[in-house]
Amino acid sequence: MSDATSSDTPAKRQLCRETLRELPDNIRLPRYDVSRLEAGILHFGCGAFHRAHQALVTQRAIEAEGRKGLRWGIASASLVRTNTPDALRPQQGLYTLLERSAKGNHVEVVGSLAEVVHAPSDEKGMAARLADPNTRIVTLTITDRGYFLDPSTHRLNVEDDAIKEDIGKERPATAIGSIVRGLELTRKAGHTPPVILCCDNLTSNGATLRQAVLDFAALESDGLSQWIEGNVQFPNTMVDRIAPSVSEHDIEETDRLLGMHDAAPVVAEPFLDWVIEDFDGPRPAWDKGGAKFVSDVEPYEIAKLRLLNGTHMLLAYVGSLAGYKTIAEAIADPLIKRLTERFMRSEQGPTVPVAHSQSEHYIDELLKRFENPAIHHEVGRVGRNGSLKLATRLLEPMRYNLAERRDTPCTIFAIAAWIRGFSMLDTSGTAIHIDDPNKDEIYRLCRATRENPLLRAETFLEYDEVFGEGFPRQEKVTGELAQAINNLHRYDLREVIAATLEETILGRRYPQQ
């Protein structure tokens, strides 16, 4: 930048405030003075999803309000790693968003990050930032893993070491601990607390976060927990935009499009949706940027979690067994597409509390979104942390279907495919790496039940932390899961998918007659 270099080779120009005006005309720029933004929002989790979704909607909101909008800049924090702050700081928080579709790219520079924070080394600290009266809204995208919830009860896992470590700490490391500490400071100072918006794919995400915060606060002081209960709003939200991880190729392409370097671009599909439960208090004009404020988020949330995220799990596990690298590659396989459609229309669809025509329309739209060939959404990434995601996305709808006496062969198949991944060996005979906080226990269950599909099905279904307590018609579920596990071990994947679709039995029947 200004002090760039005195060496012979001039430094490559880099995206920052000073170089904004040099960008080609076809790049959409922030339509406000980015140097005058103030942080009114504190964000936990400065990842690709946040930057492709909330930061863009906030950019639109700031633009819609003119000068008044400048108070809604975001102080966006990475909670552990320094890569994103390191990449974004030299760019004063500016970065490129590439919206990709088969038709081409829409390229936009986003400027709504007023500050980029690395929480552990931040001088102020997250709690003090939360308690700052200028912080009117706190948002979170920390993935399921960041909440330390028991997956079957959705309550804070108070036995987790990260949570135990944070109790009573002045500068907690977890988001939940920092929120509680920040609210404690707010209460002491007598300020109005900020509204806290969870933007992760959890069931009733606001209510779930609220309960986790109350659970943490109660470990420290009942008074604080009661004060939070009576004074802090945690609206529910539904967030939706597919944002794959960024590759070297994406960075090179962005540099080519900009004619200068951007160390931290993000990629997303054109689709964007954000539904927020209405709350009291000031907020950016997010509704001008594509968000909706509604009185009840639940129908949107259930439809999204089951039809989008649940189907993503099926595609990720079946796709990876088939050797595909991305969701788009997996669904381009006609057999997998048939399985996916059956799963969406006959199993997940009927469990969603919206009109049939609406859910069919959503399914049609989703199939096109999954097929977007310009989005390289890796199956390994989509499938990670499955043990935390199964309950909401597959098991709850399956329970509902079983109670309604509706069969769920595709759901059972997806669960069997997830389990199968943990017993796959690489060429050196080692279990393949799967990113999951419970992976050691899952590998252990696989080793303990080797060669015995029925025992494996029973053992997994008894793994309460993941599967919860029993299913309606448990014996039927056990038999079908054993069958699917057996088939995936013994037969060619395509044969197994075809048998699932045709509802035929391959090999021996479980439980044995």
Name the residues that contact ligand CS2, by CB under 6 A. Answer: 201, 240-242, 308-309, 312, 382
Distance in angstroms (rounded) separating the CA atoms of residues 89 and 70: 20
Burial of 187 (0-12, 13-18, 19+ CB in 10 A): middle
Residue with nearest beta carbon to ligand CS2? 312
Closest to ligand CS2 by CB, 50 vs 312, is 312
The answer to whether 186 and 238 have CB atoms below 8 angstroms apart is no
What is the DSSP-derived secondary structure letter of residue 133? Answer: T
Closest to ligand CS2 by CB, 115 vs 378, is 378
| Cis peptide preceding 299, ω within 30 of 0 | no
Q: How far is the CB of 389 from ligand CS2 (least distance, A)?
A: 6
- In 3D space, the residue among 159, 253, 176, 160 whose CA is nearest the CA of residue 210 turns out to be 176
Distance in angstroms (rounded) separating the CA atoms of residues 501 and 495: 10
| Residue 463 CB partners (closer than 8 Å, separation 6+) | 441, 445
Q: How far is the CB of 31 from ligand CS2 (least distance, A)?
A: 26
Residue 447 structure tokens = 């080793």
Q: How far is the CB of 217 from ligand CS2 (least distance, A)?
A: 28
Closest to ligand CS2 by CB, 40 vs 289, is 289
Q: How far is the CB of 72 from ligand CS2 (least distance, A)?
A: 23
Dihedrals phi, psi of 39, to nearest 5 degrees: -85, 110
Measured in Å, how far apart are the chain's first and last C-alpha atoms?
75
Closest to ligand CS2 by CB, 172 vs 244, is 244
Q: How far is the CB of 114 from ligand CS2 (least distance, A)?
A: 25
| Residue 383 CB partners (closer than 8 Å, separation 6+) | 313, 316, 317, 320, 418, 421, 434
Closest to ligand CS2 by CB, 115 vs 269, is 269
Q: How far is the CB of 474 from ligand CS2 (least distance, A)?
A: 27
Q: How far is the CB of 271 from ligand CS2 (least distance, A)?
A: 9
- In 3D space, the residue among 376, 152, 195 whose CA is nearest the CA of residue 269 turns out to be 376
Q: At what angle do helices 356-371 and 311-321 cross, to 10 degrees?
A: 40
Closest to ligand CS2 by CB, 89 vs 145, is 145
Closest to ligand CS2 by CB, 199 vs 496, is 199
Closest to ligand CS2 by CB, 201 vs 340, is 201
- In 3D space, the residue among 505, 511, 504 whose CA is nearest the CA of residue 479 turns out to be 511
Q: How far is the CB of 303 from ligand CS2 (least distance, A)?
A: 12
